[in-house]
Amino acid sequence: MPGVERSWDVETDLLVIGAGAAGMTAALVGALEGLDVLLCEKSDMVGGTTATSAGTVWIPGSSQSRRAGMPDSVEAARIYLAALLGERAIDERLDTFLKAGPVVLDYLERKSSVRFTAPPVHPDYRDLPGAATGGRALGAVPFDGRELGDDFAHIRPPRREFMILGGMMVGKQDIPALLAPLRTWSNLRHVIGILVRHALDRFRYRRGTRLLMGNALVARLFDSIRRAGVRLRYQTELRELIIVGDEVVGAAVSSPAGALAVRARKGVVLATGGIGWSRELRERLLPEAARRYSLAPSSNTGDGILAAERANAVVESGPGSPALWMPSSVMTQADGHVSVFPHIMLDRARPGLLAVDQAGRRFVNEADSYHDFVEAMLRPHASGSPATPAFLICDRLFIRDYGIGLVHPGTRNLDRFLKARYLIKGATIEALADKIGVDGRQLVQTVERYNHHAERGVDEDFGRGASELNRFNGDPLIQPNPCLRRIGPGPYYAVAVWPSDLAGSAGLRTDSAARVLTRDGAVIPGLYAAGTDSCSIFRGTYPGPGTVIGPAIVFGWLAAMNAAGTLPGDLA
């Protein structure tokens, strides 16, 4: 490389920083395309936020959806995104994503162990023209962690709140059988099978090896990069990008072996997890009410974004939300661990629960997507009172049937949740209102109005139960509206939920080949960004499940193909 006059500790073709979905995809594809690849991961585990997620990818028009009998089209997705984004849908990156997505899935399926399938129903998050109820959001096929041998220890585990029996993963499809194992022979057989498997696992591993959702996707990517010969360095942190002229030629990293200068002949890919816990970026980009909690791993501290800014890159937040949100409840466990529990869909959409702001009034359709729920929390309300935190309100019957947050369905002894003040109890609605600090008369009126809606089966205030997403996450046994049921006799319970970010939407400005751009729109030679290190193509909106990981994988592929010089002409 002309002009590079310095000593290098390590040399490679492609240097990838961050071993989440975007980084591992870029590393894998680079190796498959003939490059020598070095992947550096700041922690001692791979997977990043993807490992603790549902592992869904939103990629329209795939052959996988057609094979599953749930065909989808790119044209329908364009219509949907145009309705959601308006003028922001006219974007070269978005167009490239839609064209490349199916190609990337087939490429990975053909050349690696990464596999996806389409569940029968997985609706988009908005009822708009072109929306899909299934086939557009794909899930990773489960993976047997035993195939990784000792390297299984390097797979970041799910949040412990989502595992049972000391480390067994549970998927949505497992829950009915686990709650009623004796109801049918198939339930019993399924429960015995997963319990025996888990018991055998614990003789050798710290947790279960039956990997589902995000853990399955991460394990499949990890298995593939191992087979492809990618060099992987753990506990290796980006410090600075090394620039000669206007070109990024490598990076300075810190590692257990000390400080290293790494030469990257074909480029550097930033995939460090976006804003994460960076105090500087959170204060600069996120609203004050949403800075307290994040669902990112603690090792995600904005390293890629901040290093790129020092190299003349620009952070773009767009007109939409700077992050994608999740309402989360918080409890300090007996061992001191602070559980931040994301309320994804297992309680908010169920019938018999409502959410109120600090005036004791409903402010949102509780069954809408987690992002839309928090967007409503962060907006000013007609009551003039904030909704940070908001309170989820239910009766004892609701907890028996559905659980709430960290409280599993059917839990009889609630003492530890009450003592931790995670769960707040009142014999009457007025008593509950007093304990959570809202106006008792107003909360009584709110519950009475909610019950009126439940009796009629129509939510006149927020339309709960009207959308495909709402009904999918409700209880089909409750009719005519699977998301509405009366709040009945006491005692009554409340759980406080706070805004937390699950991923950044603001990030580095990039082009359709994942190349990082300056404020003037010029390409910074040798520098790529993928995943949440780059600005979201959806501009602060959340179209459906998997709209973080889908683009992360696609743009990781695009970055590596561009660096290797093998990007197909129609995508270049």
254 sits in which H/E element: strand 247-255
> Which single residue is written with the structure tokens 């290797």?
564
Cβ neighbours around 356 below 10 Å, total: 27
Token readout for 258 is 């000390």
Q: Cα-flanking dihedrals φ and ψ of residue 307, to 5°? A: -65, -40
Q: What is d(CA 7, CA 439) in angstroms, rounded to the nearest whole number?
A: 68
390 sits in which H/E element: strand 390-395
Mean pLDDT per 10-residue run, the chain (572 residues)? 72 98 98 98 97 96 95 96 93 96 98 96 96 96 95 94 83 81 88 86 89 96 98 98 96 96 98 98 96 96 98 89 97 93 94 96 97 94 81 97 94 95 98 97 98 97 96 95 96 98 97 96 98 96 96 98 93 75
Q: Which residues sit opposite 303 in a β-bridge?
A: none
Residue length of the chain: 572
Token readout for 340 is 């931040």
Q: Which amino acid is at 122?
A: H
| 237 burial type by CB count under 10 A (0-12 exposed, 13-18 middle, 19+ buried) | middle
- With a CB cutoff of 8 Å and minimum separation 6, the contacts of 110 are none
Token readout for 374 is 């928090």
Cβ neighbours around 513 below 10 Å, total: 19
H helix runs in 202-321, sequence order: 213-228, 279-285, 303-310
Strands (E), 107-209: 116-117, 137-140, 143-144, 163-164, 168-169
Q: What is d(CA 50, CA 41) in angstroms, rounded to the nearest whole number?
A: 14
Q: Please tell me the pTM assigned to this model.
A: 0.95
Q: What is d(CA 114, CA 331) in angstroms, rounded to the nearest whole number?
A: 36
Query: Could you say which DSSP state residue 167 is in?
Result: T
> Do residues 343 and 392 lie in contact, with contact meaning Cβ atoms separated by under 8 Å?
yes
Cβ neighbours around 378 below 10 Å, total: 17
What is the arrangement of strands in the sheet containing 116-117, beginning at the earlier edge strand?
A: 56-58, 137-140, 116-117
pLDDT at 317: 85
Return the closest-CA partner of residue 393 out of 347, 326, 455.
347
> Which single residue is written with the structure tokens 């399938």?
117
> Do residues 365 and 464 lie in contact, with contact meaning Cβ atoms separated by under 8 Å?
yes
> Do residues 24 and 221 lie in contact, with contact meaning Cβ atoms separated by under 8 Å?
yes
Q: Which amino acid is at 87?
A: E
Query: Could you say which DSSP state residue 407 is in?
Result: B
User: Longest Cα pair distance anywhere in the chain, in angstroms?
Assistant: 78
Q: What is d(CA 406, CA 372) in angstroms, rounded to the nearest whole number?
A: 22
Q: Which residues sit opposite 495 in a β-bridge?
A: 392
Q: Which amino acid is at 189?
A: R
Q: What is d(CA 35, CA 572) in angstroms, rounded to the nearest whole number?
A: 19
Q: What is d(CA 67, CA 570) in angstroms, rounded to the nearest whole number?
A: 25
Domains and CATH numbers, the chain: 10-141+214-272+505-564 (3.50.50.60), 155-212 (no CATH), 324-501 (3.90.700.10)
pLDDT at 2: 44
> Do residues 355 and 365 lie in contact, with contact meaning Cβ atoms separated by under 8 Å?
no
Cβ neighbours around 279 below 10 Å, total: 10
